[in-house]
């Protein structure tokens, strides 16, 4: 059974600081997703990472994938309050799979 673990579960950081969220998964996977969820809202797709060494950046967020280590990271640069949300990674099995397995989420709070 595929397991996906995120850490930290909760992250409180000051504006302007950098930090990284980690996502480990237990078995080989073709695709890894990062989503953002604001309280009471749906999931907003941030990144889809398809291959080993993939790196994608959007604004202050950068995601990377190491399929050999079964690890993805979401790096936050110079955090701002608007980034406060819960971030989920999710993994699927690719062509042989049909569902996403989500991590537990990282709740990010950015303080002034």
Partner 1 sequence: NAGVMQNPRHLVRRRGQEARLRCSPMKGHSHVYWYRQLPEEGLKFMVYLQKENIIDESGMPKERFSAEFPKEGPSILRIQQVVRGDSAAYFCASSELQGYGYTFGSGTRLTVV
Kindly list the residues in this chain that would bind partner 1 in the complex (CB under 8 A): 4, 31, 33, 35, 40-43, 45, 48, 88, 90, 92-95, 97-105
CA angle (57 as vertex; 12, 102 as ends), nearest 5: 60
State which residue, 75 or 107, has the beta carbon closest to partner 1. 107
* Closest to 53 (Cα-Cα) out of 34, 68, 36: 68
Q: In whole angstroms, how close is the CB of 16 to partner 1 at the nearest point? A: 28
Q: In whole angstroms, how close is the CB of 6 to partner 1 at the nearest point? A: 8
Residue corresponding to tokens 């998964």: 25
Q: How many CA atoms lie within 13 A of 45 on its CB side?
A: 6
Q: In whole angstroms, how close is the CB of 112 to partner 1 at the nearest point? A: 25
State which residue, 98 or 112, has the beta carbon closest to partner 1. 98
């Amino acid at each position: 059974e595929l397991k996906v673990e995120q850490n930290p579960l909760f992250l409180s950081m000051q504006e302007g600081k950098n930090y990284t969220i980690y996502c480990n998964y237990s078995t080989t996977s073709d695709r890894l997703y990062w989503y953002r969820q604001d309280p009471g809202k749906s999931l907003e797709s941030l990144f889809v990472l398809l291959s080993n060494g993939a790196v994608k950046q959007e604004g202050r967020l950068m995601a990377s994938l190491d399929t050999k280590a079964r690890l993805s990271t979401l790096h936050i640069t110079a955090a701002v309050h608007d980034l406060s949300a819960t971030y989920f990674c999710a993994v699927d099995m690719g062509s042989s799979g049909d569902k996403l397995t989500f991590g537990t989420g990282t709740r990010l709070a950015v303080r002034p």
